[in-house]
Amino acid sequence: AGASAVIIFNNTSGPINGTLGEPNDNFVPAVAISQEDGERLAASLERGEAITANVSVTGGGIVEETSHNVVAVKEPTHKKKAADQIIIVGSHHDSVSGSPGANDDASGVAATLELARVLANMPTDTEIRFVTFGAEELGLIGSYEYVDTMSEDERSRVIGMFQMDMVGSRDAGELVMFTVDGQKNTVTDLAAAAGVRTGTPLTYGQEGRSDHVPFHYAGIPAALFIHNPLEPWYHTPEDSLDKISKEKLQESAEIVGAAVYQAARPDTPALD
């Protein structure tokens, strides 16, 4: 099950800061637009308007593409006191035009899938949602759409959103966590504790620019996990599988997984 957003591009009133490339293997159209325009599109979406942008398209015409979020839900094992709580583990499955996106963000998707595999059969008091978002690179469109379609009740039950975006590059720096306002929250506290236990102390700082942002603005504790500084291959055709470090990917998944499980595990041993 996934939410979708329709992105309509037309060239009736001239080009803005964009180009249309060849379709690639990703779920989203190979359209590069500025972050500013992406944010404008996401804001339009929030207001329930049609999302229309003018881009330079050789030959003219209207290009309409649909992007999807992919959502897997692990139900709580024990419907006890914390049964109503939700944890979200996220990443994005699109990449920029011309880049294979091995680190940005197939690394996060791989870690999301692995955590889903590992946690699927663990007892938990909380519901865990594993979400890979579409159209992140076009201005966080998938994640804005996801948060927009949650009910107030649902939003209030999310205790943390863990976003993994670029967590496996051999050539990038240390794993750090970023929040939109630069403040600690439930997610950074859990991950800091997990980092201490696994021997990888985590620093945190302030940064938006990934799918944790819409969750933050909806009042949900959220953080981005990313290696910092970025690798030189960021958003280039060189962001390919040979640059991925299995060790760094595993370390990222272990820290986020340990943090998630710390919050999700039953408070008391299961008796049933």
Binding footprint of Zn ion on the chain (CB under 5 A): 78, 104-105, 165, 270, 272
In the complex, minimum distance from the CB of residue 181 to ligand PHE, in angstroms, rounded to a whole number: 15
Which token pair is 103?
Answer: 């680190």
Q: Please state, in angstroms and rounded to a whole number, the distance separating the CA atoms of residues 242 and 7.
A: 32
Q: Please state, in angstroms and rounded to a whole number, the distance separating the CA atoms of residues 47 and 81.
A: 36
Partner interacting with residue 78 (select from ligand PHE, Zn ion, none; CB below 5-8 Å by kind): Zn ion
Choices 60-68, 74-82, 184-192, 202-210 (CB under 6 A): range interacting with ligand PHE: 202-210
Q: Which of residues 97-126 bind ligand PHE (CB under 6 A)?
A: 104-105
Amino acid letter at 26? N
Q: Is the dihedral of CA 162, 166, 170, 173 positive or negative?
A: negative
Contact (Cβ atoms closer than 8 angstroms) between residue 45 and residue 145 = yes
**Bridge partners (DSSP) listed for residue 127:** 86
**From candidates 106, 138, 226, 253, binder to ligand PHE by CB under 6 A:** 226
In the complex, minimum distance from the CB of residue 61 to Zn ion, in angstroms, rounded to a whole number: 27
Partner interacting with residue 145 (select from ligand PHE, Zn ion, none; CB below 5-8 Å by kind): none
Choices 38-46, 65-73, 203-211, 254-262 (CB under 6 A): range interacting with ligand PHE: 203-211
User: CB 185: neighbour CB atoms within 10 A?
Assistant: 19
By C-beta, is 84 or 174 nearer to ligand PHE? 174
Picking from 265, 251, 230, the residue whose alpha carbon sits closest to that of residue 114 is 251
**From candidates 125, 127, 207, 239, binder to ligand PHE by CB under 6 A:** 207
In the complex, minimum distance from the CB of residue 108 to Zn ion, in angstroms, rounded to a whole number: 7
| x-marked contacts with ligand PHE along 124-143 as a string, rule CB under 6 A | ------------xx------
Instruction: Name the burial class of residue 49, with classes exposed (0-12), middle (13-18) and buried (19+) by CB atoms within 10 angstroms of its CB.
Output: exposed
Q: Please state, in angstroms and rounded to a whole number, the distance separating the CA atoms of residues 204 and 223.
A: 9
Does 209 bind ligand PHE (CB under 6 A)? Our answer is yes
- Chain position carrying tokens 């007892």: 123
3-state secondary structure of 236: coil
Q: Please state, in angstroms and rounded to a whole number, the distance separating the CA atoms of residues 115 and 133.
A: 16
Partner interacting with residue 226 (select from Zn ion, ligand PHE, none; CB below 5-8 Å by kind): ligand PHE
3-state secondary structure of 204: strand
**From candidates 11, 69, 169, 210, binder to ligand PHE by CB under 6 A:** 210
Q: Which of residues 138-177 bind ligand PHE (CB under 6 A)?
A: 165-166
Chain contacts with ligand PHE (rule: CB under 6 A) = 104-105, 136-137, 165-166, 207, 209-210, 226
